[in-house]
Amino acid sequence: MSHTILTLPGDGIGPEILASARTVLDTLGHFEYEEQALGGASIDLHGTALTDEVLDRCRASDAVLLAAVGGPKWDTTDPSKPRPEQGLLGLRKGLGLFANIRPVRPSPALLDASPLKRERIEGTDLIVVRELTGGIYFGDSGRDGDTAHDDCLYTVPEIERIAKVGFELARRKVTSVDKANVLETSRLWRETVTRVAEGEAKPLDHLLVDNAAMQLVSRPADFDVILTENLFGDILSDEAAMLTGSLGMLPSASLGDRSGPGLFEPVHGSAPDIAGTGAANPLAMLGSAALMLRHAFGLENEAGALESAIDSALEAGLRTADLGGSATTEQATKAVLEHL
C-alpha cells in the first residue's frame, strides 16, 4: 500500500534535512510525495505564509512532513505583515492538530553531550504532550497605543481531549503542569484533568509550571508523560530538548482526531546561519519521519528500525557540528542508512 506524504521543506536548512528524510524513507517503503511551500518560502511566492490551496492539499494527504520555517529575512514586529510562523499556526488550526507529542529520550551515545551530568539524565525517557490549538497563542490579542493584550482561553472539551491523549501514551504516570495558584485557566485545567484521571488506570500528579521547570533538570528520569497547555508546553519541551544534548535531536508529532493527517516536524528552527552549507543535523528530521511511520501509517517495525539505526550511528561515532563533530548532512544520512 502506498502512502501520500505532503512535504513542506520551508526555509533555511529545511530543504536539506527533508531531502535526507526522503532518502531514508525510500529504503523503508513505497511513498508518494507532493511538495508545497510554507512559511517564508510561501510569503515570497504568494505574500502569505500558508495559502488555502496548500492547506487543502495537506488535508488530502495521508501525512504532512514539515522541515522548518522562519528566518531573519521575514522578521517583523509589524502586525500587518506576514510572518513565517503564521503558516505553522494556521496549519495546526486548519488540520485540527490539538495534540503535540514530543518524545525526549537521550541516545546512550550522547549522555555526555548534555549540559547536565550523565548520572542526572541517565534513564530519561519521557513524552511532553502539549495542547496545541488553544490558550494564549490562539486567544484574542491586540494593541492600543502603549497597551497590549494576549488573552488565554480554554474550554473543558479542549482540556479533556488532550488529557485523554496523555493517558493513552503514559506507561507509568501522567504529570499535569499548570499555574493553578494564579491563573483561572489553569484552575479549570487542573479540575478537568483530575476528573479525566478518575476513569484511567494510570496515576496522576500535578506540578506548578515553575516547579516543573526546575524538576525537569533536577530529576528528568522520574517523568513519564508531561501533560500541559500550549505556552507552557512550548517552553518546557525546548528545555527538555537540551537533555538530549542538542535541539537538533528532538522530533515531534502533531495529531488530531485521526480523521485527518498528522503533522510531523523536528522541534528545531530553520538555522539560517548554516543553510546551504551542508552542515545541518538531519537526525531530528529522521526521528520525525519515524514518528510519522508509527502514528500515521502504523508501521511500528519500520519506525523502530529507523530509531535504532539513529542510535547505532551515534554509538558508532556519528557527530554533526551541533554535537561537537564535523559530519555533514549527507554523511549523517549515510551513517543512518548503513545501520538500517
- What residues are annotated to the active site? 137, 179, 210, 234, 238
**DSSP type of residue 120:** H
Take residue 132 and report the three cell numbers written for it: 496545541
The CA distance from 150 to 100, in Å, is 22
| Residue 20 burial (CB count, 10 A) | 25
| Residue 79 burial (CB count, 10 A) | 9
| Span between the terminal Cα atoms of the chain, in Å | 21
| Residue 96 burial (CB count, 10 A) | 16
Say if CB 13 and CB 67 are below 8 A apart.
yes
Strand intervals (E) in 43-85: 63-68
The CA distance from 308 to 340, in Å, is 8
The CA distance from 285 to 292, in Å, is 11
Q: SS3 letters for 232-296?
A: HHHHHHHHHHHHHCCHHHCEEEEECCCCCCEEEEECCCCCCCCCCCCCCCCHHHHHHHHHHHHHC
